[in-house]
Amino acid sequence: MNGGGGKEEMEEDENDTEKGKVMEVDEKKKKQLVLMWGYLPGISPQRSPLFHPVVVPLPGSSTTGDSWRDVCGGGCGFAMAISESGKLFTWGSTDDMGQSYLTAGKHEDTPEAYPLPTEVAIVKGAAGWAHCVAVTAFGEVYTWGWKECVPSGMIIVDKITEVSPDKDENDVNPRSCSGILSTNESGSAEESAKRRRLSSSRQGPESSTSGDEILSAPPCLVTLKRGVRIMAVASGGRHTLALSDVGQVWGWGYGGEGQLGLGSRIRLVSSPHPVPCIESGAYGKDRTAAMRRNMSSDEQVYKIIGSYVKAIACGGRHSAVLTDTGALLTFGWGLHGQCGQGSTDDELSPKCVSSLLSVKIKGVAAGLWHTICISADGDVYAFGGNQFGQLGTGSDQAETLPKVVNPQCLENKNAKIVSCGARHSAITTEDGEVFCWGWNKYGQLGLGDAIDRSIPTVVRIETCRPTNVSCGWWHTLVLAESPT
């Protein structure tokens, strides 16, 4: 449930790639392995979790020479990773998990290439609770899964909010202007989940009478403004963010708590809309009015927020973005303090986390109720819900302001990459270690047991060096270099 990206444009060289296929692996490059632990229903007939890291096989690699390229977590009950040849592989789902097998394919213990309607290589991927999104080498975006998460060209909003969040129609997809109004909140997450539980989940995905299929959409190409090229994607519980090569954020899906950052409680946005991260201002308020209060914090906030967004992350119902200057902005559901603003209020527009303005943030990830970020100096900061120790602060107390995570085990360790599952967190360090903490009911911390941890704990990984980590809902994936 996290994502990132940069401003630099992806270069196209017809001599190196054909139809977007990834270049052949350098013979000197070390072999890439994918390790997994935690709970994926389809990998064990007994439905037992994996409490220790195990190697994920790449089918056909011995004959094709293909290898793993990256991990992209996965959603509820399934995992996702990308091969060097640009195929998106999924595994871990079963047909009695309801929506997940329609989203990820009925791929159990062996990864299988997901059948996307393109031959272009996939370079990035992300998954929410039961929807997925993938980016091709040409910057195109495909998404599938829950229909409410797949663009269909209409906006559904609450009665009390505006029909459209944008004034300038030139900046939005024309299909998004139908302005359909909702009369109530019957489409809440709880009601949606109830409908899915009542549906006939055991029927095969080929069956036209499947109740789940009615709620699922097959992979489709996301229509964006002409010339927009996406570099990274992030998926939340029911919303999606995409980051373009020029640092513009686009969003769609459910926005009832402000997680789309469009300034109002938009229940459903089914066409990509630009999210005004930089343009909206640090507080989403009039600068003159803010400065009139003569508060030094206001002066600090308005120094330099940045020129473009370089990384994005989606939590259950909140979002976070990083700018080129290292400023962190959050928006969406704030009940547990996951926006880091010192309150439990929802943030309807991107708002700078002012307490971190003196810190250059280089990475951010978001879970169901919490947010973790890392600084350019390698420090870890956490805020939000903490019922299972997912903040890593040593307690179960929620934090509405960022709190540094500084247990003795991280002394002299510099965090490099961060990821969040639903209620657990993970980082890699510059010296090639993986630390996990938080909820561990299903072994998602990889520590050999099912005991929750409230401080970061190192995961023992032998003979290979972790280079990336990506958490799913109940599991964790690691990309690692093998010496052979």
Kindly report the CA angle at 83 between 66 and 53, in degrees rounded to 5? 100
* Segments forming the whole domain that contains residue 371: 31-482
23 found inside a domain: no
Tokens representing residue 373 in the block: 């970020």
- Output the domain CATH number for residue 264: 2.130.10.30
Q: Is the dihedral of CA 424, 106, 132, 120 positive or negative?
A: positive
Tokens 């640009």 identify what position? Answer: 86
Which residue type does 36 have? M
Coil vs helix vs strand at 59:
coil
- Give the pLDDT confidence score for residue 1 in this predicted structure: 66
> DSSP characters for 339-405?
T-SSSS--EEEEEE-GGGTTS-EEEEEE-SSEEEEEETTS-EEEEE--TTSTT-SSSS--EEEEEEE
Is 3 part of a structural domain of the chain?
A: no
β-pair partners for 479: 34, 468
pTM for the whole structure: 0.80
Domain assignment present for residue 2? The answer is: no
Q: How far apart are CA 136 and CA 12, in angstroms?
A: 12
Number of domains in the chain: 1
Q: Is residue 202 part of a domain?
A: yes
- Each residue's pLDDT tens digit in the chain (484 positions)? 654 433 333 333 444 444 444 444 444 567 899 999 999 988 877 778 999 999 999 998 878 889 999 999 998 889 999 999 999 999 998 776 655 667 888 788 899 999 999 999 999 999 998 899 999 999 999 999 998 899 975 444 443 333 333 333 233 232 222 222 222 233 333 333 333 332 222 233 333 334 556 688 899 999 999 999 999 999 999 999 999 999 999 999 999 999 999 999 988 898 999 999 987 544 333 333 433 444 444 444 444 799 999 999 999 999 999 999 999 999 999 999 999 999 999 999 999 999 999 999 999 999 999 999 999 999 999 999 999 999 999 999 999 999 999 999 999 999 999 999 999 999 999 999 999 999 999 999 999 999 999 999 999 998 899 999 999 999 999 999 988 6
Instruction: Spell out where 39-138 has E strands.
Output: 50-55, 68-71, 79-83, 88-91, 112-113, 122-127, 131-136
| Rounded Cα–Cα distance for residues 77 and 39 (Å) | 7
Instruction: Classify residue 20: in a domain, yes or no.
Output: no
The burial class, CB within 10 Å (0-12 / 13-18 / 19+), for 408 is exposed
Predicted local confidence at residue 318, as pLDDT = 98
| 22 in a structural domain | no
pLDDT digits 0-9 by tens, 420-476: 999 999 999 999 999 999 999 999 999 999 999 999 999 999 889 999 999 999 999
Q: Could you tell me if residue 185 is inside a domain?
A: yes
Tell me which residue of 453, 448, 445 sits closest to 471, measured CA to CA: 445
Residue 329 lies inside a defined structural domain of this protein: yes
How far apart CA 476 and CA 464 sit, in angstroms, is: 17
Residues 6+ apart with CB under 8 A from 288: none
